[in-house]
A and B are shown apart, each in its own frame.
Chain A
Amino acid sequence: MSTVIATPVKTRAHKGFSPGRIWTLATHTATQLLRMRIVAFLAVFCLVALGAAFFFPQLSPEQQLKQLKDWSMGSMLVASVVFSITATALLLPKDLEDRTLYTILSKPVPRYEYLLGKLLGMLLLLFCGLLLMDLIFSVVLWLKQQALLSAMIAMLEQQQAATPENVAYVEASIRKYGLNSGVHVEVWMVFLRASVVTAMTLLISTFASTTLFTIITSMAFTIAGFGVALMREWVLKGLYGWTEKTVGALLAILCPDLGMFDLSTAAIRGEVTLGVVGQLTGYAAMYVAAYMVVSHLFFVEKEL
């Protein structure tokens, strides 16, 4: 009679916090969003804006480069904010509709890990999208800059004024508005702003009843967030009445100060130091962390 010896099953101890699980959720979120073709729409939007920059009237070389930069950065900002709000607002309802949320949460996955995974997936997609836009934009800007520089030097030669001094002057003034580190700093600022908006939208979606409510509320908070600095400057210190001051103070408390990340003029001059970039990155991280803590408190109570 043979005896069967049962081999002990090796079970891995369940961890309270697992970066691996969060990464899996994040990549799944990114794939889920990519399948929704949101990125393709945004890419077309940006390319159209970029193409439009070439149809502007023939202005001075500096103005041509500035217009190209302003329009491209503006479209990147609008695209990233719209993408952050709409895509994040869809995340939880889509998981509920597809019932994947129940599958995930029925496993030993804490709710904060689920939220972190969703946030990280969104940020990953945003970062990759903006990196791609930055690359395309940098190439276009460099080509435009070289074309303008060649045209200017040819014009100086035609006027017999292409002295080394004049050529150096033209080169310096065109380079100032052309491709430099300031461009990448601006794109990073766009990413930071979009990160804060994403975290805020995720927070709203944890208690919102419908996707439409999340989108509208997030949009309103974002628009108000752009004007918070102005509110602090004019309303809270100005000669306004009690009602205006209360509304102003409330908006300043509730909305994130998104205008803080606007360094476009300084970035053109190439004056933004790494220290300032680090400071603003920390500032954005503070918002994201605070919003995630509050999101968790709402989400953990949510009845699914």
Chain B
Amino acid sequence: MSERAAKVTQADEEAQDDDQITDSAAPDAAQEADAGSETTPAPVTSGAEAVVRALENAGVEHAFGVQGGAIMPVYDALYDSEIYHVTMAHEQGAAHAADAYGIVSGKPGICLATSGPGATNLVTGLADADMDSDPMVALTGQVPTELVGNDAFQETDTTGVTTPVTKDNTFSSDSDTVGSDVSEAFALAGEGRPGPTLVDLPKDITNGETDHEPDAPSVPETYEVQERADEEIVAAAAERIENSNRPAMLLGGGVIKGEASEACREFAIEHEIPVITTMPGIGAFPEDHELSLEMAGMHGTGYANMAITHCDTLIGIGTRFDDRLTGGIETFAPDAELIHVDIDPAEISKNIHADYPLIGDAATVVEQLAEAVDESPEATKWRAQCQQWKSDYSMAYDAPEDEPLQPEFVVEALDEATDDDTIVTTGVGQHQMWACQYWTYTEPRTWVSSHGLGTMGYGLPAAIGARIAADDDQDVVCFDGDGSFLMTLQGLSVAVRENLDITVAVLNNEYIGMVRQWQDAFFEGRHSASDYHWMPEFDKLAEAFGAAGFRIDDYDEVADTIEEALSYDGPSVIDVHIDPEANVFPMVPSGGDNGQFALTEDQL
């Protein structure tokens, strides 16, 4: 043990002297009774063991976290567990990794942190998961109950701090029920509209003796989820669809979380309805399908934005109509009657009034709609119009050999070099938008990004979580910006230690590019604090961490270097020096009219 670690432990022990409970007879007897049976695990003897047992009962296989004084009892119990714990370099990384794990696997990802600074470091990741409705459970250590409220060493009011950014949180106050608190948090994270939950674990509660086995994961009685939508409204919506001439489907992240991609695909294809996705909805519908118009919104395709602006019936599924999607409310789908499918009643008419509110599980409601719609809408002209827009506003770019490397080219090259089921994670900024626009997504759960919160630094830890959740033969590629990467690149140490096969492409423009783009457009090109000319050489930095480092400066290096990086068995980082002036188009200025997207700088 290092000197510092020894000191922390000592301090903690002192703080705890008073509440050590000493009654060890019962658990010993229980353990003996069970000895010899391999299948039945030993009975729990402490709150911490109950916590770990609750995770095991829930089928948890992996967890991400960082050790610390207040969470030590839980880690001690993990020591004997089959759960594989990935030690992260920073708790923010643990939260993002758990979040990405949840997106890719569909089951809540688990992250652990100690009290105080550990817990506060999780906050960004919790807020991120909350905005994107990603299933995740955070377990935080807390100072012993009797010190709570006294500003004890490493104390923070964690439930207070995280209430606005979690679906639900609990302060555990009894060793006998702490395991059930965790089971319930797990169930709540995944059920209905998913989201992050948190259980705060005071050290005396986890250290405390108990022989209570945790309950099976289940949500509290007061939590109700409606699965099927009201049949009458379904019938009315079906009639509206049949009679529409300009229908469009808008698939949001809820389609993916609700495993409704298949049902939506069948419905759209059977009735030949053009499909638009939101950013979190990417992958819900194959982007190489004729009916796909790809993503709408601020940096959505021109054709998606034209279609969403001109449709007469919009079938929005699992979307919360974020302002990056809608632009100005006044001009959003102004002619459309909205059929809104969502499992969360509070999403109905929150931002855009729903003419046909369909509350329920996305997959179930789309099946209900599929049964209710007898005739396909007559929309031949509309489909032709959408195809016309697709060619008018195609996402083509110029890549002259004698000019600096264009980022779109790099995204496309990586897409071509990898399989369809490759998982893409990103940071936040221009690179994220190019990764949306120029990669062709065909499968759900292959696009892992920070949508609602827009968290720079999400990409690398998300790649770590995604890698651990993904199938072995699935590739994981992270597109990062130089600024974003710099925020969490200490995660490389984790990737190296765990030998995670991920490929990070840093689209390096030596700017925090998205900010530079806005400054050029709206602040007369005054590059206040956006010029990052002091960027490290990321390939060398990767090597310093023990990862493989590559560098690309020009077109003729792209294919070979990508090939090499992808075939490297372990983490690799490609420092891709792109055109520093490259900008993202199309663009709807914030609050603008989606149909008025700019294609060039001078249209802004």
Q: Real complex partners, A and B?
A: no
A binding-site residues for B, Cβ under 8 Å: none
> Chain B interface (Cβ within 8 Å of chain A)?
none
